[in-house]
Amino acid sequence: MTTYRDSGVDIDAGTRAVELIRPLAASTQGPEVLAGVGPFSGLFALDTHRYRQPVLVASTDGVGTKVLLAAGAGRHGQIGADLVNHCVNDVLTAGAEPLFFLDYVATGVLDPPVVAEVVGGMADACRRVSCALLGGETAEMPGLYQPATYDIAGFMVGVCERDAVIDGTSIREGDALLALPSTGLHTNGYSLARRVIPRQALTQTIPGTGETVLEALLAPHRAYLDPVRRLREAVNIKGLAHITGGGIIGNLPRILPVGLGARIQRGAWPEPAIFSYLAPFTPDEEMWRTFNMGIGMIVVVDEASAATALRILDGEVFVVGDIVASAQRRVQILE
C-alpha cells in the first residue's frame, strides 16, 4: 500500500509548519482580525467609522528568482520581508495604507523551520507597517519543485478614502519627478543577473564598496510607506510609480495620462554600485528595461512643491526629471 508520504507529501510536516506559523501571524493581529491562521479563510472586520468612503486596494506579487539566491544563502526571513514590502509599495501607489496580507509558500519537500523563518520575515515586515498577517497556504508539491527549493507569493489589501486615491489623472506637463532611492535590484531582474554573473563571482567584493556581489544582490526591498506618508502631509502627490519589472521606462508610463511623457536625468540620484557592476554584462537599453537602476519609487508633484519635498525628506528624495508633452507615454533617459 502506498501512502501520501511515499508520494512525497508529508501531512505531519505541514501540521508542524502551521503550528510554527500560527504565533508569528498572531503577533501581527489586532482585534479587527476575527479569524486568522487555522480556518479555511481569514476574517478582517473593517472599521468603517474611520472612513467616510473607504476604497479597498488589492495587489498580489512574488519575489521572482531572488528566492533562489536568498534560499541558497540561508536568508529565508529576508525574502519573506521583501515580499511584504513589495506588496506594500504596490497598494501605496494608489494612496492606500495596508490592512492585511496573505502568503502562499510552495515547496518540493516541506521543511517546517525554513517555512517558519520565511513567514517570520513576513510577520516582522507586517508589524513594521501595522498590517495583519491574516493567513496563507503552504503547499508541498514534489515533482513540480526540486526538494530544496521553494517559491512564495503574497496578496495584500489596503484602504484609502475615495477622495484621496492617487490615480495620476491630475498629472500635467511641467510637473516634477522625485525619486525615492532603492537599495539595489529589490525583487526584479534576478533571472538576468543570475545568468550573466558567474557563480564564483558572488563572493567577490564589488570595487569601491565593502560588500560582496551576493550581499549587493540580496539587499532588502525597501518599503516606502513612511516617506510617502510624510510627503503627503506637506504636498499634493499626483502620482506614484513603483519601479519593478520593466524598470523606469516600463513602469512610469503606467501612471501618465494620454499626451504626456517624462524625462529622467541620469546621475541625479545615488545609483547603487551593483548596477555599474552589471553594466558590462548586458546592453544599456536592457539595463533600463530590466532593473530599477537605483530608483524604487517615483513621485510626481507640481514643480512648486519640489522644494518642499526636498526639505521634508532631506537626503531621502531627489529631483530626477519632469513631465513633458509627448504623443506616446514615453520615458526619455538623459545621460
**Alpha carbon distance 231, 308 (integer Å):** 9
Q: Mean of the pLDDT values across residues 286-299?
A: 97
Place of cell 506579487: 61
Residues forming a β-bridge with 260: 325
Q: Mean of the pLDDT values across residues 148-168?
A: 96
pLDDT digits (tens, 9 = 90+) for 226-258: 999 999 999 999 999 999 999 999 999 999 999
pLDDT digits (tens, 9 = 90+) for 320-332: 999 999 999 999 9
Can you give the pLDDT at residue 9? 82
The closest of 65, 122, 94 to 297, measured between CA atoms, is: 94
| Confidence label for 36 from pLDDT (cuts 50, 70 and 90) | confident
Strands 54-62 and 132-140: unpaired
| Confidence label for 187 from pLDDT (cuts 50, 70 and 90) | very high
The closest of 110, 248, 230, 232 to 166, measured between CA atoms, is: 232
Q: Mean of the pLDDT values across residues 221-226?
A: 98
Task: Indicate the pTM of the whole model.
Answer: 0.95
Domains in the chain and their CATH numbers? Answer: 11-164 (3.30.1330.10), 176-334 (3.90.650.10)
CA dihedral 170, 302, 287, 215 (to 10 degrees): -110
pLDDT digits (tens, 9 = 90+) for 96-129: 999 999 999 999 999 999 999 999 999 999 999 9
Q: What mean pLDDT value characterizes the chain? A: 95
CA distances from 141 to 17, 78, 150, 151, 249 (A): 15, 23, 10, 11, 37
Please tell me what DSSP assigns to residue 150: E
CA distances from 132 to 31, 97, 157, 192 (A): 10, 12, 10, 34
pLDDT at 8 over 90: no
